[in-house]
Amino acid sequence: MQVNLEVASVFGFFENAYQDNVFAASEWNKFFIDVCTRHGYESFQGTIFKHQTEKAFISAHIDDLLVVGSKAYIKDFYKKLSQELKLKIEGPLQPGDEGSIFYLKRELQFNEDGIDVTPSSKYIPKLAELLKVSDRRGRAVPPHGCLQIYDPDAENAKLFRSALGICIYVSQERCDLQHPVRILATYMAKPTQLAMNGLKKLTSYLIQTKDMKLHYPKVEMHQTTLQKWYGGQEKRDSKPYMLELYSASDWASCKVSRRSTSSGLIFLNSCLVHSHSRCQTSVSLSSMEAEILAATS
């Protein structure tokens, strides 16, 4: 979401003009690229399409589209596209409006301060039901502990994988979950009783923090994250965007491989666009070396 592109809208295809045909993935891709080309779009980055003359973009995931542009353009584009395809539209909305649109099972909530992104509200209740932890006392922080004790739990392996799959999906919008989820994911092949306990503790934390959201504030050009949080003069130069990268690491946290963990955050004009928690590929011999590997990754 770029701050200078103010409006987003979702188009959902129910069916295309060729109702009697079943499109394979490659055939659908060719068909959709042809549609985009006829409406002035060109492939920009993977499934992102950029209009050749307008400030408009399309993010396409099979038959779900997120269209970004001005309200006037989106309404005109929807009218033209409706002549070729049967569509369902949500929006258009812009920061300052009140309302929500849904894209790829994520809710984009628009308000006067910006946009809040949350995973589907059904996932955390489903996770709590799977693991039967709804009556647990809520936890204020995600669990993090040593899980190296080998106590196989083959009986609940399928349950562990199903529940962890939900956590992996939710963690895309919750950077506070990425580290514990990464650790638990190493037990996907052979779950243990201790890993299952850690997953239940993580579920308890999710229940306690189910209202947490990823917030994209309305910001000015050149504004850094610290300026947005604490105030201060904006830096003015010839560049329209301010890209910030933060990294950190622990040192030899894995007691088996002695590998360290790298973490990173990337902000564009104070809006978070990427976060990760990864195990380093080599063994660091000092905390300084671990920090260097985290920064260069």
| Least trusted range by pLDDT, from 33-37, 80-84, 125-129, 222-226 | 222-226
Closest CA to 54 of 73, 76, 32, 34: 73
Q: Which residues make beta-bridge pairs with 107?
A: 102, 118
The answer to whether residue 238 scores a pLDDT higher than 70 is no
Question: Considering the entire predicted model, what is its pTM?
Answer: 0.72
- pLDDT value of position 18: 47
**Tokens of residue 292, six digits:** 């260097």
Kindly list the structural domains of the chain, giving each domain's residue range(s) and its CATH number in brackets, ordered by start: 7-97 (3.30.310), 123-208 (no CATH), 220-296 (no CATH)
Q: Give the whole-angstrom CA distance, residue 225 versus residue 234.
A: 11
What's the chain's average pLDDT?
82
Supply the pLDDT for residue 62.
Answer: 80
Per-residue confidence band for 124, with pLDDT thresholds at 50, 70 and 90 = confident
CA distance 58 to 276: 25
Q: Residues 213, 110: contact at Cβ < 8 Å?
A: no
* pLDDT: which is higher, 162 or 237: 162
pLDDT band at 17 (very low <50, low <70, confident <90, very high): very low
Q: What pLDDT sits at residue 56? A: 92
More confident residue, 112 or 136: 112
Could you tell me how far CA 293 lies from the centroid of its own chain?
24
* Mean pLDDT value across residues 138-143: 72
- Are 100 and 107 in contact by the 8 Å Cβ rule? The answer is yes
Tens of pLDDT, residue by residue over 40-77, are 999 887 789 999 999 999 998 888 889 999 988 998 99
**Encoded tokens for 189:** 């092949």
With b meaning 16 or more CB within 10 Å and e meaning fewer, what string describes 220-253? eeebbbebbeeeeeeeeeeeeebeeeebebbbbb
Q: Range with the lowest mean pLDDT among 66-80, 212-226, 283-297?
A: 212-226
Q: Say how many CA atoms lie within 13 Å of 37 toward its Cβ.
A: 6
